[in-house]
Amino acid sequence: MAKHSYPTVIDQAEIKILEKRIISYREVMSGLPEEEVRSLMNFLDITWCYHEFAIEGIVLNHLEIKSALDDRIISDSSLIPHYDDVKCFYEGVKRLRVEAQKKRLSLSVNSIKELHTLISEPGSSKQNNYRKEIPLHRQYAHDFSPPEKIPYRMRKLGEFLQSQSFRKMPPLLKAASAHNKIMAIFPWSKKSGTLARLVMNLILLHSEYPVALIPDVERQTYYDNIQVDLTHDSDIRMVNFLNESICLFLNAIAKRLNMNI
């Protein structure tokens, strides 16, 4: 997936190939028995959690994730690292699926704050306060918005998400653009990266695209894509990266179902 030079155009030929595969994916999913769909969604949830936490530098095993996601399993949360984090993230995933079914996608500063609250540790009264400093030790190398500019830039983000130009964008560009703008602001010290990826996937799901799961092995490439795109004030690299990530997801689904997609 790594790109060694900055692309100047979105690879439209690759996007057309992806769109054809997505049509095939929808047809396959609509023809599956309900039980098989449920099993596939469970597989997706666990895979999604694994890669999401790996992107943030946290490696969880299958049992830890399954124990947190399955209400039928009674577990001692003190024995499972990041148990509450997984539960909160999964609440965010469930919210995405509900919102994606609505006729009109509603994205605003308030809905973004609500999603951030949902995926944050419960009980913290300050979890939705914007950060007051730039973290010294952090996963991401790109420049964050200065704290004093966060409220203004969040308002501008809200205006952008409500604009006609945003609504008319093709799905991959819309998802990449929203993701990059949130990452550039990085409103909260915790969960901003997770939030940006959830908003990105909400946009994709609402457009009837599969989710874009960023593989843990592409973690550094993902970080690099953010930094280079923001440096060039562009979303091109992330669009191409999302295209490739969704293709990998479709490959995994096709292999699991033993079908061509």
Q: Decide if pLDDT at 113 tops 60.
A: yes
What is the spatial distance between Cα 61 and Cα 5, in angstroms, rounded to a whole number? 35
CATH numbers and ranges of domains, the chain: 18-257 (1.10.3290.10)
At 83, list the tokens. 């148990």
Return the DSSP state at 258: T
156 pLDDT band, cuts 50/70/90, is very high
Q: Residue 238 in contact with residue 218, Cβ under 8 Å?
A: no
Mean pLDDT of the chain: 89
Token pair 């947190």 is found at 68
Q: What is the per-residue pLDDT for 2?
A: 46
Chain CA centroid to CA 222, Å: 12
Q: Decide if pLDDT at 4 tops 90.
A: no
Q: Decide if pLDDT at 77 tops 70.
A: no
Q: Decide if pLDDT at 218 tops 80.
A: yes
At 169, list the tokens. 């964008």
Q: Residue 237 in contact with residue 7, Cβ under 8 Å?
A: yes
Return the DSSP state at 120: S
With b for 16 or more beta-carbon neighbours within 10 A and e for fewer, the 171-187 pattern comes to: bbbbbbbbbbbbbbbbb
How many helices (H) and strands (E) are present in the chain, helices listed first? 11, 0
